């Protein structure tokens, strides 16, 4: 299979992130640096990442985590900040976040060792919905502003795709996106005159945050993983 897909199957990262790792020269095959993500490899090719042998994962694991404010959505942090992976107490395997929540945002984030699943959940072509609750400044949010959010807002990286938006209170919105640009909800709300004061992700595809305490994590069952795969 392609080298990038092999790394994804091995729990190193998502397929798209694996392509960047390969191009950065961090992957070797039979002791030689390979920078072509399309290189054909298998279990006997001697693939290594940062000098450590890589083998396909035999069992997919997915965790749902209720991320607190101030925790970063990475496996490691060079500034010593707490990470979402650090919230998995006692789990010995390697997992990484599916997408990102910025440090100031809270709520549902997934961790997995399955790069193919991570790619399906984050790639725009699959349109997996993510649901957010945003508390905004300068209430109330008026109907013409809701209409702009629903139809698409012009941002510096292009117009956003249509979104589902409803008002929960004069200063609270529920926003459902099927794309995942950096700080997208915050930028959308600011563009219509209502900067976000607090942002919480409450849904990811078929999963909901209810019942998971802040800072807690739980491993998803087989049926939940199948639903994430769209089966």
Q: Where are the domains of the chain?
A: 3-53, 62-124+207-228, 129-204
| Residue pLDDT, tens place only, 159-176 | 999 999 999 999 999 999
Alpha carbon distance 183, 73 (integer Å): 13
> Residue 3 corresponds to which tokens in the numbers above?
């080298």
The domains spanning 3-53 and 129-204 adopt the same CATH topology: no
89 — pLDDT class (breaks 50, 70, 90): confident
Q: CATH code for 129-204?
A: 3.30.70.1560
More confident of the two residues 231 and 215: 215
Q: Is the pLDDT of residue 115 over 90?
A: no
119-to-61, 79, 127, 166, 197 alpha-carbon distances in Å:
15, 27, 11, 28, 30
Q: Which of 11-15, 60-64, 186-190 has the lowest average pLDDT? A: 11-15
* 62-124+207-228 classified as CATH 3.30.70.580: yes
Angle at 186 between CA 183 and CA 187, to 5 degrees: 80
The class (CATH top level) of 3-53 is alpha beta
> Residue 131 corresponds to which tokens in the numbers above?
């649901």
Active site residues: 102
| Residue pLDDT, tens place only, 166-205 | 999 999 999 999 998 999 999 999 999 999 999 999 999 9
Alpha carbon distance 79, 90 (integer Å): 23
DSSP code of residue 72 = B
Burial, 159: exposed, middle or buried (Cβ in 10 Å; 0-12, 13-18, 19+)?
A: exposed
Peptide bond connecting 140 to the previous residue in cis, omega within 30 degrees of 0: yes
Alpha carbon distance 214, 191 (integer Å): 30
> What's the pLDDT at 16?
81
């Amino acid at each position: 299979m392609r080298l990038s897909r092999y790394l994804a199957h091995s729990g190193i990262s998502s397929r798209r992130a694996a392509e960047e790792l390969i191009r950065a020269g961090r992957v070797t095959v039979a002791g030689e640096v390979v920078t072509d993500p399309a290189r054909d490899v298998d279990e006997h090719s001697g693939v290594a990442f940062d000098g450590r042998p890589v083998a396909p994962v035999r069992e997919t694991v997915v965790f749902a985590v209720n991320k607190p404010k101030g925790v970063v959505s990475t496996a490691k942090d060079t500034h010593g900040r707490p990470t979402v992976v650090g919230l998995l107490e006692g789990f010995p395997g390697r997992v990484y976040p599916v997408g990102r929540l910025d440090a100031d945002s809270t709520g549902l984030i997934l961790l997995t060792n399955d790069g193919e699943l991570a790619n399906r959940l984050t790639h725009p072509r699959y349109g997996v919905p993510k649901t957010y609750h945003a508390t905004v400044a300068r209430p109330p949010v008026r109907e013409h502003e809701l209409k702009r959010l629903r139809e698409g807002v012009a941002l510096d990286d292009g117009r956003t795709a249509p979104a589902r938006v409803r008002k929960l209170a004069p200063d609270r919105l529920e926003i459902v996106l099927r794309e995942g640009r950096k700080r997208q909800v915050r930028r959308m709300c600011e563009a219509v005159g209502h900067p976000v004061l607090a942002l919480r992700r409450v849904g990811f595809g078929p999963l909901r945050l209810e019942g998971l305490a802040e800072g807690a994590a739980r491993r998803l069952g087989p049926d939940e993983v199948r639903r994430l795969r769209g089966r």
